[in-house]
Amino acid sequence: MKIDLSPQRLLQNWPAKILSLAAAVLLVVFNSVSRLEDRYFTVPVRLVLPADFVPATPYTQRVRISLRGEADDIFRILEDDIEAYVDLSAYNSEGVFRAPVQIDRHGAALDVEPLEIRVEPLEIAVTLEERERRSVEVLPRLSGNPPAGYDLGQYQLSPSTVEIQGPRSLVEDVHSIDTEDIELAGRRSDFTVRVRLLRPNQLIRFIGGDVVEFRGVIEEAVVLHTFEPVETVLLDLPPNLTIVSPLPAGSVRVQGRQFDLDEVQAGDVQLVADASAVTGPGTYELPVRPDVPRGLLVLRYEPERVEIEVVDGG
């Protein structure tokens, strides 16, 4: 059977034929679109900066990525396959600059077609300042206290200074860097710990690392204490003589270990007046010396001399 392909035959009922063709095209397009799916995630933003300039204020560091494509294809794409960056390399002065977020495809994202990539926000504003670098002192942040009777005698930090780098206005205000808390509670012997440095601002970074070594020397606590009133006793007075009035009480200030001081009992500390030079009735001025337990260092005492009146004891 011969098919009539003449123009007259083809143009018969042409409106209906055009509508049918359009419907077929729409059906194909709809069917194709219906197979596309969306996927969302966030990625970090890389800044391309001019030499010797850095961000001086917080900025948008992550952006939202929208992928649209075949379901099997877009879910094979890893977050690392999409890179977002902002190119600020053309700006060579301090100020606030706004630039679009650009996208690079890597890995599995290179082979996916069709693939529609959208990013939010479309552009980012960044404040730029000159980069500054300086050396500052490290200060330990001590927490708690050793047990009773112990003290932190001395310590060493290695390194004792660190170099920081960041925007000029922030670095100029930093004069020292604190460590994380170093706990002293419960420590009865020397110890060494590694601790991190506390960053004064997220835009400042440490050159050479953010960990230092702290070495603490724990010593038995040495304290000062004053005993008063302290009895003054008279020694070596001849047995045939007696004093008219009791000797005055005094005070003794000592330095010693807390453990030794805790062991001192009432009467262990006294002042002693030497009466060996007294030979008969009369008035005498006698030297006084302190008598304290071993391990205590006498810093001062009062009185240093006493006057006594002696009479015949018979």
Tell which wins on pLDDT, 156 or 32: 156
User: Among 220, 247, 269, where does a domain finish?
Assistant: 220
Distance of alpha carbon 69 from alpha carbon 250, whole angstroms: 96
Q: Is residue 4 in a domain? A: no
Domain hosting residue 82, numbered range: 36-129
pLDDT of 30 above 50: no
Q: Could you tell me the sign of the dihedral formed by the alpha carbons of 71, 73, 78, 80, in that order?
A: negative
User: Among 99, 129, 159, where does a domain finish?
Assistant: 129
Based on the domain organization, do 255 and 184 belong to the same domain? no
pLDDT of 191 above 50: yes
Residue pair 245/232 in contact (Cβ under 8 Å)? The answer is no
Q: Give the confidence band of 46 by pLDDT, cuts at 50, 70, 90.
A: very high
Residue pair 292/268 in contact (Cβ under 8 Å)? The answer is yes
Based on the domain organization, do 40 and 116 belong to the same domain? yes
The count of domains in the chain is 3
Q: Is residue 146 in a domain? A: yes
Each residue's pLDDT tens digit, 207-261:
999 999 999 999 988 889 999 999 999 999 998 999 999 999 999 999 998 888 9
Q: Is residue 81 in a domain? A: yes
Minimum mean pLDDT range among 24-38, 47-61, 133-147, 151-165: 24-38
User: Among 129, 147, 164, where does a domain finish?
Assistant: 129
Q: Is residue 10 in a domain? A: no
- Which CATH number belongs to the domain containing residue 70 in this structure? 2.170.120.30
Which has the closest alpha carbon to 217: 182, 188, 242? 188
Dig out the tokens for 162 from the structure.
């660190």
Residue 301 exposure: Cα atoms within 13 Å on the Cβ side: 27
Q: Is residue 48 in a domain? A: yes
- Which CATH number belongs to the domain containing residue 141 in this structure? 2.170.120.40
